[in-house]
Amino acid sequence: MKADKIFDTHAHYDHKQFDNDRDALLGALPQNNVGLVLNVGCDMKASRASVKLAEKYDYIYATVGVHPHDARTLTEKALEELVELAKHKKVVAYGEIGLDFNRNFSPADVQRKWFKRQLEAANELKLPLIIHSRDADDEVHDILANTPHHGGVVHAFPGNFVLARSYTDMGFYLGIGGIITYDKIGRLKAVVDSAPLDKILLETDCPYLTPVPFRGKRNESAYLTYVVDEIAQIKDVTPQEVRTQTYLNACKLFNI
């Protein structure tokens, strides 16, 4: 276990933005202080691609699932395929699933239906969850509070002290990425300050949510060093402590 390195718990290296240099970028990760990466499925194509990336690279693991944006595309047959994919030895979580009422690419009732169906599938598989919640914090929380699950992480944690405490009490971790380096994000910095370090995971959401000083460019796992430094400053600990504890947290959650 290389707990002195970074574990990026939420990446999308199957994204088309990496088509021109994917192999070179992924091949260089170990030299850029990145120990492990979790490539997250967000639709059927991405779930299949995540498994293939995990098969190709020892230090990449995968998740499968369908994002609320694409809930309208899900069928029972597709869900059956996801369940079969989830049985792969390098699939360590189910997601990215949840609710997103910000842009409503899928109708709200359809999002709710498939969120709950995927939660059922993940519970039967005994897999932790990768949770997406945008403009739906209370409803996502209430669904999870009343549904059997095996813990997980709230991706790009969007909430406040009360929500953070409730999630960690339920067995969830808080996913913290590049947003923590942005200006006018005081509420999140306060949440990170108050949350135990053993309840925080590092994540990029690459190619999105790139931290300062690269904001506006394509994100990648190596840039998590800036997130590490920001968390260390907020919590008055060393960057090595942040890297080590968040790495151990992720290995514990994903049973690696």
88-144 residue pLDDT tens? 999 999 999 999 999 899 999 999 999 999 999 999 999 999 999 999 999 999 999
Residue from 171, 193, 189 nearest 180 by CA: 189
| Spatial distance between the Cα atoms of 103 and 225, rounded to a whole number of angstroms | 31
| Spatial distance between the Cα atoms of 71 and 118, rounded to a whole number of angstroms | 10
Examine the pLDDT at 177 and tell me if it is beyond 80: yes
Residue type, 36: L
| Spatial distance between the Cα atoms of 202 and 204, rounded to a whole number of angstroms | 7
- In angstroms and rounded to an integer, the radius of gyration of the C-alpha atoms of the chain is 17
What is the pLDDT confidence band of residue 62, given thresholds at 50, 70 and 90? Answer: very high
Q: Is 65 helix (H, G, I), strand (E, B) or coil?
A: coil
Q: Kindly report the length of the chain.
A: 256
Q: State the pLDDT at residue 225.
A: 98
pLDDT in tens, 213-225: 999 999 999 999 9
Mean pLDDT over 149-160 rounds to 95
Q: State the pLDDT at residue 166.
A: 97
To the nearest whole percent, how much of the chain has pLDDT over 70? 100
What strands lie across the sheet with 6-11, from one edge to the other?
6-11, 34-39, 60-64, 91-100, 129-134, 152-154, 172-176, 200-202
| Spatial distance between the Cα atoms of 102 and 142, rounded to a whole number of angstroms | 18
| Spatial distance between the Cα atoms of 28 and 69, rounded to a whole number of angstroms | 32
Please say whether the beta carbons of 68 and 34 come within 8 A.
no
Q: State the pLDDT at residue 159.
A: 85
| Spatial distance between the Cα atoms of 60 and 159, rounded to a whole number of angstroms | 29
pLDDT in tens, 228-247: 999 999 999 999 999 999 99
What is the pLDDT confidence band of residue 2, given thresholds at 50, 70 and 90? Answer: confident
Examine the pLDDT at 1 and tell me if it is beyond 80: no
| Spatial distance between the Cα atoms of 9 and 201, rounded to a whole number of angstroms | 7
Q: State the pLDDT at residue 121.
A: 98
pLDDT in tens, 78-92: 999 999 999 999 999
Sequence-ordered strand ranges (E) for the chain = 6-11, 34-39, 60-64, 91-100, 129-134, 152-154, 172-176, 200-202
Model's pTM, two decimal places? Answer: 0.97
Q: Is the dihedral of CA 156, 223, 254, 89 positive or negative?
A: positive
Mean pLDDT over 48-59 rounds to 98
